[in-house]
Chains A and B, each alone.
Chain A
Amino acid sequence: MRTFNSLGFGETAQGELTEPDRLKYFDSLSSIPSAIQGGGFSLVGAGFGGSNKVIGMRCYNRIYSFDENTGILEVESGATLGKLFGFLANKGWIIPVQPGYPGITIGGCIAANVHGKNQFKEGCFGDWVEELVLVHPRHGRLTLSRKSDPDLFELTIGGFGLTGIILTAKLRLAPLPSQTVVVKPIKVNSIEEAVTLMSTDANKSDFQYSWHDMARSYHGKGIVFIGRFDHQNSKPQSTTKYQPLNQEKLASPIGLMNTWSLSAMNLLYRYLNNNEKSLSVWQAHFPFASAAAYFYLYGKRGFLEHQVLISDGAVSEYFHRFRLISERHKVPYGLALIKLFGGSQSLLRYSGKGISFAIEAPQGAKTLALFKDLDELDIALGARSNLIKDARLSASVMERQYPQAATFRDQLRKFDPDRIFTSALSERLAL
């Protein structure tokens, strides 16, 4: 038995890890409740908990085929984004949607229906999945697509690994326009200014997000980063190496994130981001590849993240009330980010049109009280929390934010009345 922690120590459980490496393992899968783990970097307990058994998928990381005519990649679910990036970039292709750390696996990306820094343009990860093979003790191996079993396919994308083990996936890729991205930082004085700037600039950028200093004041003085592929100046990737993220071993014994240290770090960050930069696509996609140490500064108590999708019409009211709540609690935010979102929403997926706003804060009673008030604000203004990022969100809050929560539960139970695949997340949200 060992202890599993989500990234940031927000959720913890005991369990026993099995890491099979042969395909015959799936011929006689046990019906004992299990959690499925990919890279193990989720901010919530999605890859452990719910039962004692954890099935690690990291050995199933092979690439089966890549068709350069159609751009279809067939890959096992334990393959990491980093491994695939190196292989694809050399051939001039890219997975269009990628979260910020290269150790994350394809199975995790599908189960969490993750987003990148270009959601407004390229959608979420699930939009690029053409087909997947799901294994379940009761149903065997199932090949799912939007045509062959659309309901189960849709339930599995953003289904938190609860429908079964995703063994392989066929992904639609995009040609890589350039190996280099030019990132232009634009200083803003408030969150609202960032939102306006990003909305007007959406068509002219390939990536964008904004960073805000909320260590002492909650106005949101910050920087909007506008990224564009540099078609004139495409340099080969200098590295596809990344720092291993091992918070259990390397997290600082005490938390170092407080108002003063965060203010100093934010000042430095602003200073370092004064000028336009030319980054490799690797650096642009994976900022945490070389900044794993950031997470260690929160210490062993860790941090909590709260990310919400706010409809365009509610933005100014949301941030007005957000500031009032934040002033009341006076918690320093370690990170505050805005991204532009598009598309539509269904089931429990974090997608749809609006503004995505994420904050991180050191774990503790003050942060829990603050996030509880933010839950009420979210509900009042129709904002939706990202379930795969918030390690303390309750089932009742989820139900008030996601009208299709009951549909998700019903469909899941219809497919798997025994509810074999579980996790700390599924227990907490009563899925």
Chain B
Amino acid sequence: MNVLIIGASAGLGRALAEELAQEGHRLLLTSRDERDLGAVAKDLTTRFGAQVDFLVADLVKFNAEHFRDQALAILSPLDAIFLVAGLADDEDVAPLSSQRTTNLLEANLVSPILIINAFFEHLVERKKTHVVAIGSVVSIRGRGRNMVYGAAKRGLEFYFEALRHRMAGMGCRVQFYRAGFMSTTMLDGRKGFLVDSPQSVAQKIIRRLNGPEGTAYVSWIWAFIGLVLPLVPYWIFRRIRI
């Protein structure tokens, strides 16, 4: 497969790139920093002999058409797009400045939608393609932290529900994951039974690539929390500090 990974320099995106490179797929990696991309590309090429290219792209102030043209000039046709990039903000509690709010919405909601729109025709024409996007368990239920991030991810989830419906019968498999906590910088070294490694999450996502479409959790424990948390009465939920 020819695979485009948006947000491949670290965490889950990098782990997905590693899994896919190991399986011999050809990759185009994107993220904000050329040095990180170069380091990941060198690693995958050296270890697996994979063909890996990269393209610098910032999902804030993003030009999707320009990005699509650049990406397809490097790697075409594409068989799969993984939308992994996410932007979190430690200060993401109301009130948040307009600029930071906009940045969060652009990176986590607007730009992923723009990317889908830009690549829509390509994916449909190609047939047997995959679009995989990564949401977050923070959007299970709104709370006073990660407010904009959670709203953006919930919005993206809705968009992917609509996208699945729109693409039904067109040969493009649409999958959306509510990923749980992963041991990445976003968690700052915290560990526990709710925390999974990006490698393990990536393996599960790749194994399920030809599996069911729609929204899914990566682990059973989060699927359970996703089921129960919305049922918790608000007067209890508002006392929960998570």
Contacts and interface: CB of A to CB of B under 8 A. Distances in A.
Partners in one complex: yes
Contacts of A21: 10-11, 184-185
B165 interface: no
Contacts of A19: 185, 188-189
Contacts, number: 45
A22 interface: yes
A90 to B, nearest CB: 10
Interface stretch (B34-42, B67-75, B84-92, B144-152): B34-42
Contacts of A64: 39, 42-43, 46
Contacts of B39: 23, 62, 64, 76
Contact of B9 (A18, A22, A56, A66): A22
Interface residues of A, number: 18
Contacts of A66: 46
B23 interface: no
Q: Is the interface of B mostly helix, strand, loop or mixed?
A: helix
Contacts of B43: 62-64
A24 B33 contact: yes
Contacts of A23: 33, 35-36, 39
B188 A18 contact: yes
A59 B116 CA distance: 30
Nearest to A24: B33
Nearest to B41: A62
Instruction: Please tell me the size bucket of the interface on B.
Output: 10 to 19
Interface in A11-50: 17-24
B204 interface: no
B187 to A, nearest CB: 9
B208 interface: no
A59 B36 CA distance: 11
Interface string B31-60: 001011001101100110000000000000
Contacts of B33: 22-24
B189 A17 contact: yes
Contacts of A63: 42-43, 46-47
A24 B36 CA distance: 8
A77 to B, nearest CB: 13
A56 B190 CA distance: 12
A24 B10 CA distance: 12
Nearest to B44: A62
Given A22-B10, A62-B42, A63-B47, A56 B185 contact: no
A18 B10 CA distance: 15
A17 B40 CA distance: 24
Nearest to A23: B35
Given A18-B189, A21-B184, A87 B36 contact: no
A81 B46 CA distance: 16
Nearest to B188: A18
A24 B58 CA distance: 15
Given A23-B39, A64-B43, 17 more contacts: A19-B189, A21-B11, A21-B184, A21-B185, A22-B33, A23-B33, A59-B185, A62-B39, A62-B40, A62-B42, A62-B43, A63-B47, A64-B39, A64-B42, A64-B46, A76-B39, A87-B47
Interface of B: 9-11, 33, 35-36, 39-40, 42-43, 46-47, 184-185, 188-189
Q: Top 6 nearest A-B pairs by Cβ distance? A: A62-B43, A17-B189, A21-B10, A23-B35, A63-B46, A64-B42
